[in-house]
Amino acid sequence: MKNTEVNRRPIFIGGCPRSGTTMLGSMLGSGDHCITTPESLFKQEIPRRLSVDWSVGINRREFISALTKNFEFKLWEIPLPVDSLPLILTKSDYRNLLFNLVDSYASTVNRSDWKVWVDHTPRNIIRPLMMLDIFPNARFISIVRDPRGVAASIIPLDWGPNTARDVAKLWADRLLAILALESAFPDKCLRVKYEDLVLNPQKNLQAICDFSRIEFESSMVLGKGFKLPDYTKEQHKLVGKAPDVTRTDAWKRELTDQQIYQIERLLGDLLEMMDYTKIGFRPPPQTISQRVILRAKNEVGRFFKKRSRLARMEKYGK
């Protein structure tokens, strides 16, 4: 297996879904010697599912079987270097394998000179210890977005939570992971706010690049550094364009008063501690019939979300 480790390093972007991880990945991917790949949750999920013990390693057959079935890996649309893999993958082998996969993808988008791998998988913040064990020189950038903005963005999609309550819980869980990561590894983490990046992209990108040891380029603001997979193009219509400042408060127009109230009530002081101002409006209590209708609507919504997502996966032959 080709050794591609020399002078190469990853930057892991993470946060709550729909917080701007892909937007930032596309911005940084346009930097000199940077490559942004499709999401790659498989890099930590497969070792976790196989209960890897690096003193023993990963069985090649088991790993190949898991990777070839992985939906996200299929979106990379690259061959797997099966013949070059050792029978047992050590930690070093695994790191080298991931860099080889990035190499293969980079060749498809004319970025073979890459030195920095930008990975924008939102769940990068969930298992950082595994990633730091594999990549000791990795750096993490976490993005925090107003949870009401997250709700307005994610609820209409065919995946993820479809109620304001569930979005609030997801947001709080991801924020906890971010704060824990910062506490344990303050020198390896940088937190940015989605709203700051959108409203003042040059200033914030400069700070991000300084932290990431990437040379800042003004063209990064345009976010042209990532080729979206066909599967995700519909949900990432704003990627590849300059930041849209209207998205920072679009939730005020797109969420109902009840949804806003639920998020603010559930998150309480946490919202303001993260510097997000509450509206504080309390809508009239829902009647029993309204609650029943809403519950039924949510259940139907979950059903059709799953159905729509499965149809989309089938459409792209994955």
Rounded Cα–Cα distance for residues 11 and 149 (Å): 25
Query: Per residue in 112-136, pLDDT tens?
Result: 999 999 999 999 999 899 999 999 9
Q: Which residues pair with 15 in a beta bridge?
A: 143
So what's the pLDDT on residue 12?
Answer: 99
Look up tokens 């059709």; give the residue. Answer: 304
Spell out, as residue ranges, where the chain has pLDDT lower than 50: 318
Q: What's the Cα-to-Cα distance from 8 to each of 39, 252, 281, rounded to whole Å?
A: 18, 43, 50
Query: Per residue in 161-174, pLDDT tens?
Result: 989 999 999 999 99
CATH number corresponding to 9-283: 3.40.50.300
Under 8 Å between Cβ of 38 and 229: yes
pTM of the model: 0.86
- Report strand pairing: 58-59 vs 88-89: antiparallel
So what's the pLDDT on residue 230?
Answer: 63
Rounded Cα–Cα distance for residues 160 and 187 (Å): 32
Under 8 Å between Cβ of 70 and 102: no
- Please give the backbone phi and psi of residue 144, each rounded to the nearest 5 degrees, phi first: -115, 130
Rounded Cα–Cα distance for residues 231 and 314 (Å): 10
| DSSP string for residues in 91-118 | HHHHHHHHHHHHHHHHHHTT-TT--EEE
So what's the pLDDT on residue 76?
Answer: 94
Q: Hey, where are the domains in the chain?
A: 9-283
Rounded Cα–Cα distance for residues 272 and 278 (Å): 7
**Distance from CA of residue 203 to its chain's centroid?**
22
What angle is formed at CA 158 by the lines to CA 262 and CA 278, rounded to 5 degrees? Answer: 20
